[in-house]
Amino acid sequence: MRWIPFVMVRVTAFFAAGVLTAIHFPSLVPLSVLTVFLTILSLVYLIIWFAINRSPALKPTSGIIGLILVSGFGYATILLHDASRSPDSYRRLSVPVSGYRVSLSAPVEIRTSGYRSTGELSAVKTSGGWIPVCGKVMLYWPATAHADMLRHGDQLLVAGEPELVPGPRNPEEFDYRTFLARRNIFHQDFLQSGKWVVAEASVDRSPKYYATEARRWILQVIGRLVEGEREKAIVAAFVIGVTEGIDDDLRQAYAAGGAMHALAVSGMHVSILYGVLLFVLKPLERGKGGSWTVAAISLVVLWMFGFVTGLSPSVLRAVTMFSFVAVAKPLKRISGIYNTLAASAFVLLLFDPWLLLSAGFQLSYLAVLGIVLFYRPIYHLWEAPWAWADWVWQITCVSIAAQIATLPVTLYYFHQFPVYFLLANVFVIPASTLILLGGLLMLLVSPLPLVAGGVARVLEWMIWLLNEGLFFVGHLPGSVIYPIHTSLLQAICLGGIAIAVYFLMSSKKFGWVWMMGCLAILISFEDWRRQDTPSLFTVYHVPRSAALEWRVGGVAHTLLDSVLRKDAGKIGYHIRPSQLAARLRLVSESNLPGNPSLTLCEVEGWSFLRIGARDVRWPAPFKVDYLIIGNNAVRSLETLSGTITFDYLILDSSNSMSYARRIGEEAERLGVRCYSVQEKGAFVREL
């Protein structure tokens, strides 16, 4: 492989380097200084570029300057995408706000607990009147609000002011604040009944509006024609990428089978659609300019599909990627797949540089790159004797190739490995194809009730078979290896091993085996280096719940209230990330006592008592190091006088906010050291 032909690979790599530098060091170079530097460097580049014809020796110099320019533009792109730098940004406003006007800029999503959408601020009400501002706010409605009737572009008047999105409240918890900040969303608001009104119905008739309305219509058709909640959820997921209706058991079954990519409209779905288009439009290629006609029709259909599915990041990536493939085909440059992939990535990063840190972006491109690099070498390892065996072998090779390339990222983000992914993908890939095409066919014939109903019945049967197959795979012994502790360095080393595997297969040189061995040793050393875990006591912040944990010698014992212990979603979001980061050897979970609601224990010479209910009696006065109060259990600290002596008071997150504040103020008056988990986040203390 020569480096010279891959121009867009070089450009995209250096642009990404500039983006990463700006993400991690945003204050390294002010935008004004960077602008002057890039202007001067651009002039120097142009002078050298025009002088190259007279002196070819200057060509390497111009190349180096050009790549530095590309990196600089990558750095500048991050700064320019930061809306908070605008002088009209709401984030810069320092006066009190009593109300604001906001326009819905995204479809209203139906969530388990209510509704969610994104709004664009246009003005805020202050003591001096209305002030124009700009900025985005994440809006939430309760389930009783019927916010699904709202349309893209509706103008809302909201009382009060949005609050800053809080940061993570537990160690290693997903940083939702940073996630939203990368989309220029810094504020949120919970819109209870009576707090908001529709000031003006949407007059927006942009492509995004029609895409949103088409999405709404598709969901209505699916709800009307498809029977069974799981079947409706799967059709919606396969056709337009709406996954809110999928229950935890079904989601876990897809994860165990390594088939989560099927639940989000992404590269696989778009490739299926593009493949069908090429097959249907093949007769057009015979005419004059037929290849360009096919490319034009493909672009229109692909982008229509992208808009209907809401132009989610995964769809946008896939549609952009295949758009470049569609244009490259009539140009007879389909062989330059590396440049095509790099060009599509460059365009996406130009419009949204934060995509570079998106797991979906990384997985999409790595999966395609893995198939390009590894599919043929793996396929040629065995020659299938029968046509059906060759078909199965092709699917297997695609799965292996994609898995090799995406494994480092998968382990780093999701900490698990689906053991039977090959078995699952043998039927997941063809089933996904049939379900996607069947879903699109059902929408096309929806005006014909009898025909559409028949298609829906066939769809339900296929989905039932797919789900049952994945449940079967998920229940096989050892179907998922979890948890797998992978640091960033280890993920990079795994990526290096994947690259070494490719060069070993293509060059057959033993030196790549040595490289793989060195990287494997580095992975083991990193694992050994991070084995030591300190002894910790943690009271987690889980809204309206209680969770206590003691860690000693790499083993954790966690006490959860009975409701929380049944909620795998909350445990996975608030508690599990910290346990994964600590590389614990064992985690045991048990319920906090219900009646009497007293928990007394001693760990590493420290004593702990939790009171979880009122009117609990204890036999005699005693002393503990840490007293934990939950469920608003103690009316006043004065009631404990003469019965319990303690050094430190902790109010866990099962208390109400008003109760935590009242007890905290009382503790301050009495000179008692007090920590409110509800207000400050998780309490962590080394034992």
Between helix 488-507 and helix 387-414 the angle, nearest 10°, is: 150
Q: Provide the pLDDT for residue 655.
A: 95
What is the arithmetic mean of pLDDT over 578-596?
82
CB 74 within 8 A of CB 353: yes
The answer to whether 388 and 338 are in contact (CB under 8 A) is no
Q: CA separation (Å) from 399 to 239, 273, 424, 583, 674?
A: 22, 19, 10, 29, 54
Instruction: Note the pLDDT tens digit of each residue in 446-490.
Output: 999 899 999 999 999 999 999 899 889 888 888 888 888 888 999
* Least confident piece of the model among 50-64, 174-188, 527-541, 584-598: 50-64
pLDDT at 1: 42
Residue 90 scores a pLDDT above 50: yes
**Residue 198 confidence (pLDDT) above 60:** yes
The pLDDT confidence band at residue 590, using thresholds 50, 70 and 90, is confident
Q: Which of 46-60, 214-228, 476-490, 651-665 has the highest mean pLDDT?
A: 651-665
**pLDDT confidence bin for 646, thresholds 50/70/90:** very high
Residues 6+ apart with CB under 8 A from 607: 600, 601, 623, 624, 625, 626
pLDDT for 430 equals 87
Higher pLDDT: 54 or 148? It is 148
pLDDT (average), residues 582-601: 82
Q: Indicate if the pLDDT at residue 647 is higher than 70.
A: yes
Residues linked to residue 610 through DSSP beta bridges, in sequence order = 599, 628
pLDDT for position 416:
87
pLDDT tens-digit series, residues 269-279: 788 888 888 88
Retrieve residue 369's tokens. Answer: 């790159």
Strands (E), 36-184: 99-104, 109-110, 114-126, 129-132, 136-142, 155-159, 163-164
Instruction: Please count the other Cβ atoms lying within 10 Å of the Cβ belonging to residue 459.
Output: 23
Q: Tell me the C-alpha distance between 395 and 425, whole Å.
A: 7
Identity of residue 130: W
* Separation CA 426–CA 565 (nearest Å): 35
- CA 179 to chain CA centroid, Å, is 9
Pairing of strands 622-629, 606-611: parallel
Which pTM value belongs to this model?
0.85
d(CA 511, CA 643): 72
Q: Which helix (DSSP H) or strand (DSSP E) does residue 590 occupy?
A: strand 586-591
pLDDT class of 353 with cuts at 50, 70, 90:
very high
Give the separation between CA 481 and CA 493, rounded to whole angstroms: 20
* Secondary structure, 3-state, 178-239: HHHHCCCEEEEEECCCCCEEEEECCCCCCHHHHHHHHHHHHHHHHHHHCCCHHHHHHHHHHH
Name the CA dihedral angle for 341, 344, 345, 347, rounded to a multiple of 10 degrees.
160
> Is the confidence at residue 3, as pLDDT, over 60?
no
User: Is the pLDDT at 661 greater than 90, yes or no?
Assistant: yes
pLDDT of res. 622: 82
| Residues across the chain | 687
Q: Residue 502: pLDDT above 70?
A: yes
pLDDT score, position 53: 66
**364-379 per-position pLDDT tens digit:** 888 888 988 999 999 9
d(CA 294, CA 514): 48
Percentage of residues in the chain having pLDDT higher than 90: 40
What pLDDT shows up at residue 624? 92
pLDDT tens, residue by residue, 439-448: 989 998 999 9
Phi, psi of 600 (to 5 degrees): -125, 125
Distance CA 73, CA 77 (A): 6
In the block, tokens 């400050």 appear at 680
Half-sphere exposure at residue 577, Cβ-oriented, CA atoms within 13 angstroms: 15
Cβ proximity of 253 and 467 under 8 Å: yes
The predicted-structure confidence for 270-315, as pLDDT tens digits, reads as follows 888 888 888 888 888 777 778 888 889 988 888 888 877 766 666 7
Q: Rounded to an integer, what distance in angstroms lies between the CA atom of residue 171 and that of residue 683?
A: 9
Do residues 653 and 624 make contact, with C-beta atoms less than 8 angstroms apart?
no
Query: What pLDDT, on a 0 to 100 scale, did the predictor assign at position 478?
Result: 86
d(CA 504, CA 506): 6
Supply 635's token pair: 């009316």
Is the distance from CB of 402 to CB of 367 less than 8 angstroms?
yes
- Which phi and psi (to 5°) does residue 176 adopt? -65, -30
Nearest Cα neighbor of 133 from 145, 146, 119, 147 is: 119
- Residue-averaged pLDDT of the chain: 87
Q: Give me 76's structure tokens.
A: 């500048």
Tell me how far the alpha carbon of residue 590 is from its chain's centroid.
30
Question: Three-state SS across 298-326?
Answer: HHHHHHHHHHHCCCCHHHHHHHHHHHHHH
Confidence (pLDDT) at 333: 59
